[in-house]
Amino acid sequence: MLLASTDLETFRRHFQHHIMAPIGMLIIAVVLVAAFVLYWTTSTSNAVSVEQQAQITKLGLSTSADQLSYEQQVIGRWDQRPRRLAEQPASGTWYNAQVSAWASRMFKHDISFFVDAGNLPFYGYESGSSIGQPRLDRLATELKPMIASVRSQARARYPGGLSPATAPQSPTELTQQDTVYESYVTLVDGRPAAASAMLFGSGVSADAAEVPVIVSVRFLDGTFLREMAEWSMIDSPRYSRLPSVKSDEAMVPFVDGQGKTVGYIIWKPDLPGSRILKILGPMFAALVLVMVGVMGLLLRSLWRSGYGLASAMIDLSASEAQAQHLAFHDVLTGLPNRALFQDRLEQAMARARRGEHCAILVLDLDRFKQVNDTMGHTAGDMLIRQFAARLSKIVRGADTVARIGGDEFTILLSEIHDSKGVNRLCQRILASVREPFDLLGSKVYVGVSIGVALAPEAGTDRGDVMRKADIALYRAKSEGKDCYRIFTPTMDETIKLRSELELGLRHALDSQTELEVFYQPEVDAVSGKIVGLEALLRWQHPTRGTMLPQEFVSIAEDTGLISAIGEHVLAQACRVARNCPGLFIAVNLSPVQFRSTDLAARLIAITREARCDPCQIELEITESVLLDENVNARDILAALREAGFRIALDDFGTGYSSLSYLRDFKVDKIKIDRSFTQNLGHDAEANAIVASVVTLGHAMGLTVSAEGVENSAQRQLLSLAGCNELQGFLFARAMPESEILGFIANNADNPKLRGAA
């Protein structure tokens, strides 16, 4: 017994020193490292977010005065001004109604008033009514340095007067070069404001000192801050004379035109790191507890004696049952897997041959990849589990819901009597999925596409019925997703047609005779001269005639032919570029092409083989390339820009691209989608969007182009908005290579294309 006690004590000390102590130290080290990484990650995320919000706020403040001048220019350069000034006396009602009140309604200017040649204020407008003379005098006195600066500039620049017909018209990003104005942010009535003073007229026709000055003020502490909060997603901004911030607030200084800090803009910053910490903190603590508990159980198991024979037999039986379950069930959801579903489907097909009706539903979650990419695979797994649970609650006990892989599910409905029951079930599934999913504390909305095949109507062969359900699913996806379609024979014909077009497209690629590249000119918005061409593919089908890209590009993308087609178009464009020095050639790239990591190398090789300067090639991409968050896409675009290619973002405004995407991917040009161009002059929202896009593009140093220009009114509005380049039927339609070179030669000496006047 004494020996046994000694051996037990020796074993205990050995166990504590060589097993318990190292494991305990390892657990502590892992917990400390993980806690540090979690804290550092969330803190860094908060800091980056606050800095980004501060930059956005500073940008909004710094550009407010320039934007006010840009808006005021519409009034100050109005050609009606000389005629109205000639009236004796000038009409105060006209000034207020047609100038000041219009500026208030159109641009939300809080105050507008005029100063005559003697620098005495007259005709003021504020908050919907005229301003009395005492207040006008106070405002003029407060903004006297700004008014004096305008007078001084006018006398220096136009000592003899300059008529509107001879005034230089070189545009800058916001105001035109001959506009005489002064603008900056300052305090007006003790409130932060953007103020601008400008000579009232499109040019100075007499002594510049005799021309009235229009003064506009927009306060930055009320409506402006609320609007800035909406477009920049800054929470609860406010103005304060003192840097009095709370613990959950951030601030940036408000600096006036003389560089003096006269207040602060304070807001509640969005702290994504803190939100993440609230989510992951409890999970991390729970994980630590679980890990400690598991290690404790492990140590306890090692400390205790081995299991008995009975326990071993029970564990063996449990393992066999679990293995049997895993062989026919999905691990993530617990639903039947593909093997079990195929077995039950085979049994259902046997019953269908005897006249029993059933239905097979194939389901595919919409936007699942976006959830995985943006929120992580943990959120994706949670979505799959919740979706599986909803399906299980909807179907009957005799039906089978299976997960056959990824976000693909199948449902086998047995003993159905007509398609009405199937329709009701599909509608219930769609309604259920449209309800938000709670993933990691966020509400996420997805959809589901459903393809249905009925047996025995669609057949009684298992493989054939599944194929037809997949065809119906494809139809549901192609018709907008988030819907269901029941297989009909015409769907099979559509698939066969796509197969025929695919074969024809492969033959066209091999023969190199049916695929022809057309070219449509792009012109300078001011001079009307041709500055580039866009390469547009046409398929001269032997039986269907000329086919546009939208009729076959999706087939090319689905079948992997798009890369070969895109490289064929680039090779043709390079040949034309050599014959058109000084012009760029725009070539469209499909998002599918960015799945190839060697895309940049292949495009560079094509230009070298064609002896074409990559600087002449402009590669047009769509917003889906940016939104896909593909690391390859970022590296490919960087390599292409380094090689000299220009990158243009096509159809801008129709997707979800943001400032961060434009900054991170560093494009050279944005092209305004034709849908906005067509609504110009008819839709105020379209006008505002175009003006905003142009302002945004110029602020980021980008070229701004507009597509779909079909009439002179659209051209004029786009030119006035500041677009750099225009493209559309007004200037020329797309034409083959045999015609485009002659067209360019015919217009080489013409400053404006025919129809562009």
**In the chain, which segments carry CATH 3.20.20.450?**
511-746
The predicted pLDDT at position 169 comes to: 37
Cβ atoms of 131 and 109 within 8 Å: the answer is no
Maximum separation of any 2 CA atoms in the chain, in Å: 127
Q: pLDDT at residue 174 above 80?
A: no
pLDDT of residue 95: 63
CATH 3.30.450 spans which residues of the chain? 63-220
Per-residue confidence band for 222, with pLDDT thresholds at 50, 70 and 90: confident
Cβ–Cβ < 8 Å for 208, 200:
no
What is the reported pTM? 0.46
Distant-in-sequence, close-in-space partners of 236: CB < 8 Å, separation ≥ 6: 229, 267, 268
Taking residues 632-653, what's their average pLDDT? 87
Which of 167-171, 595-599, 617-621 is most confident? 617-621
Which of the following CATH numbers is that of domain 511-746: 3.20.20.450, 3.20.20.150, 2.60.40.2550, 3.30.565.10?
A: 3.20.20.450
Backbone φ and ψ of 183, nearest 5°: -150, 145
Res. 204: pLDDT tops 70 = no
In tens, the pLDDT along 50-91 reads 777 777 777 777 777 777 778 777 776 655 554 555 453 455
User: Is 305's pLDDT higher than 60?
Assistant: no
What was the pLDDT predicted at 437?
A: 94
Check: CB of residue 239 under 8 Å from CB of residue 249: no
Give residue for tokens 């995985």.
372
- Reported confidence tier of residue 296, pLDDT bands at 50, 70, 90: confident
Mean pLDDT score, 601-614: 94
Q: Does residue 230 or residue 152 have the better pLDDT?
A: 152
Lowest-confidence pick of 33-37, 594-598, 611-615 = 33-37
Q: What is the mean pLDDT of residues 116-136?
A: 82
Q: How confident is the model at residue 160 (pLDDT cuts 50, 70, 90)?
A: low
Residue 487: phi and psi, rounded to 5, are: -60, 135
Mean pLDDT of 513-519: 91
pLDDT of 16 above 50:
yes
Tell me, what's the pLDDT at 313? 47
DSSP string, 135-193: HHHHHHHHTHHHHHHHHHHHHHH-TT---TTTS---B-SSSBTT--EEEEEEEETTEEE
Q: What angle do CA 723, 726, 727 make, to 5 degrees?
A: 155
User: Domain 325-487 is classified in which CATH homologous superfamily?
Assistant: Reverse transcriptase/Diguanylate cyclase domain (3.30.70.270)
**The pLDDT value given to residue 89:** 46
Check whether 203 has a pLDDT greater than 80.
no
CA 274 to chain centre: 25
Tokens 């069930």 -> residue: 329
Q: pLDDT tier at 162 (50, 70, 90 boundaries)? A: very low
Start-end ranges of CATH 3.30.70.270 in the chain? 325-487
pLDDT at site 99: 67
pLDDT value of residue 516: 92
Whether the CB-CB separation of 709 and 733 falls below 8 Å is answered with: no
Res 675: pLDDT: 84
Higher local confidence (pLDDT), 575 or 75: 575
What's the whole-number mean pLDDT along residues 604-617? 94
The more confidently predicted of residues 129 and 358 is 358
CB-based contacts of 110, cutoff 8 Å, min separation 6: 104, 126, 127, 193, 217, 218, 219
Continuous segment of H or E residues that includes residue 503:
helix 489-511
Percent of the chain residues topping a pLDDT of 70: 83
Q: What is the mean pLDDT of the chain?
A: 81
Q: What is the pLDDT of residue 306?
A: 40
Q: What is the pLDDT of residue 718?
A: 92
Identify whether 542 is preceded by a cis peptide bond (ω within 30 of 0).
no
pLDDT value at residue 544: 86
Fold of 63-220: Beta-Lactamase (3.30.450)
Q: Does residue 317 have a pLDDT over 70? A: no
Interval 403-444: pLDDT, tens: 998 899 999 998 887 788 899 999 999 999 999 999 998 999
Lowest mean pLDDT among 133-137, 519-523, 536-540: 133-137
| pLDDT, tens digit (0-9, with 9 covering 90-100), for 693-736 | 899 889 888 999 999 999 999 899 999 989 999 999 999 999 99
- pLDDT for 673 beyond 60: yes
pLDDT of residue 177: 67
Strand-pair category, 703-706 with 725-726: parallel
Q: Which residue has the higher pLDDT, 78 or 605?
A: 605
Q: Could you give the CA distance from residue 561 to residue 572 in angstroms, rounded to a whole number?
A: 17
| DSSP at 546 | E
pLDDT at 488 over 60: yes
User: Among 140-149, 355-364, 501-510, which range has the highest average pLDDT?
Assistant: 355-364
- Of the listed ranges 29-38, 63-72, 144-153, 245-254, the least confidently predicted one is 63-72
In angstroms and rounded to an integer, the radius of gyration of the C-alpha atoms of the chain is 35
Asked if 124 contacts 112 with a C-beta cutoff of 8 angstroms, the reply is yes
Q: Is the pLDDT of residue 299 over 80?
A: no
Enumerate helices (H) and strands (E) in the chain, giving the number of each: 27, 26
Predicted local distance difference test score (pLDDT) of residue 48: 81
